[in-house]
Structure 1
């Protein structure tokens, strides 16, 4: 005989237990991120993730039934967005607001893009580096490439709408995709040792020069400051 109705038992929630589970999940995710960046996705095992996080192997399996692929997916989602909210970057208020403000579009793109790559750039590199050997990573890398391309196209179209572009929108989208890429960020930040501030300032100047500066009579583009609206 049940003393507590089934409906009551199912609706019971423990805030302390939920918070503990959230912290455990975050610890697993952070430990996995460090391992993925250090040694790649393929070489990293769930057993290593558990040991690095300081939890039992069964705890990892309970938190992430989908295994290593699920851990990587969530780690990348959180790193890309900057929090655990299930909202795509393109739908976030800061990104949407930047598209509507022609005076802040490039500065905000450079700032937000730098912050995103500081959080997620090396995970994106790990994903790409493992895409040839793992089907999950190949699918995720392809999805990321399509998403990035679509987002940069959205930015290019917003710049065209505000009258900022001096090049065709297709070319602008390709330039944005190239200069804002994880590969360029990794080259300048980690291989050449630039600071995040230096990288963000360079990115803003370079995009303004290539996309917003009219060429002179010899076809050269000479940067003379941020783009001005007509």
Structure 2
């Protein structure tokens, strides 16, 4: 690599890996503190202390507290820090591989469980912090929009391999799946009420099928 003056710059794989490990430690500490204490109550100083780094290190790596929350959410949804969209993850592949509409919804129910288990509490943290904080409110609205985009992908895939319920418009089908893919449902039933993941997956798939396929 060369800089703007034409001089060669040097990147050390060792330093890059150390930087990545530091960022992972900060993200893990932030995720835990945000869930335990809430977004507003968990300061960057406390996150830095929990991660074993200096506060300026956190600021240098993420820029701001809202940006850190965004990274925490991204990694919780994806499962790691690799820049690979959720829809291209191996655990999403069964949705694309399904050959019947009900199989599409069964596979998506399992995806919803994965996301609920990893990110459900962080969704709730973000929702509660959104009021009165423009950056967090914008982040929350993005999460909501992304959930609907995911529902649209799934409904369109189901329609590619079969038929939706007679008389059901595409928008209504997408809205129905969008409401049901809310991680809050996973928190209510699997976490608060103690349902097993298998029980929740079966219930969710049945609800989506009833709404979309009839």
TM-score normalized by the length of structure 2: 0.87
SS across alignment from 1:7: coil
1:207 Cα deviation after fit:
1.9
2:192 corresponds in structure 1 to: 191
* Residues 95 and 154 in structure 2, CA contact (< 8 A), matched pair in contact too: no
Q: After TM superposition, where is structure 1 displaced by more than 3 Å over at least 4 residues in a row?
A: 90-97
Counterparts of residues 53-92 of structure 1 (less than 5 Å)? 53-64=51-62, 66-92=63-89
Distance (Å, rounded) in 2 between the aligned partners of 1:200 and 1:97: 14
* Residues 33 and 42 in structure 2, CA contact (< 8 A), matched pair in contact too: yes
* Residues 26 and 48 in structure 2, CA contact (< 8 A), matched pair in contact too: yes
Superposition CA RMSD, Å:
2.1
* CA distances 1:148-201 after superposition (whole Å, capped 9, x unpaired): 112212222222232242151333212211221122111112211112222112
More helix by share: 2
1:32 corresponds in structure 2 to: 30
1:99 Cα deviation after fit:
3.5
1:216 corresponds in structure 2 to: none
Aligned length: 206
1:28 Cα deviation after fit:
0.4
1:94 Cα deviation after fit:
5.3
1:209 corresponds in structure 2 to: 210
1:205 Cα deviation after fit:
2.3
TM-score normalized by the length of structure 1: 0.81
* Residues 94 and 107 in structure 2, CA contact (< 8 A), matched pair in contact too: no
Distance (Å, rounded) in 2 between the aligned partners of 1:87 and 1:15: 21
Farther-moved stretch of structure 1 (204-213 vs 20-29): 204-213
1:109 corresponds in structure 2 to: 108
Distance (Å, rounded) in 1 between the aligned partners of 2:42 and 2:129: 11
Which protein, 1 or 2, shows the higher relative CO under an 8 Å CA cutoff with sep ≥ 6? 2
Larger radius of gyration: 1
1:141 corresponds in structure 2 to: 140
Farther-moved stretch of structure 1 (131-140 vs 104-113): 104-113
1:121 Cα deviation after fit:
1.1
1:92 Cα deviation after fit:
4.4
Distance (Å, rounded) in 2 between the aligned partners of 1:6 and 1:177: 51
Distance (Å, rounded) in 1 between the aligned partners of 2:53 and 2:33: 15
Instruction: Give the gaps of 5 or more residues in structure 2.
Output: none
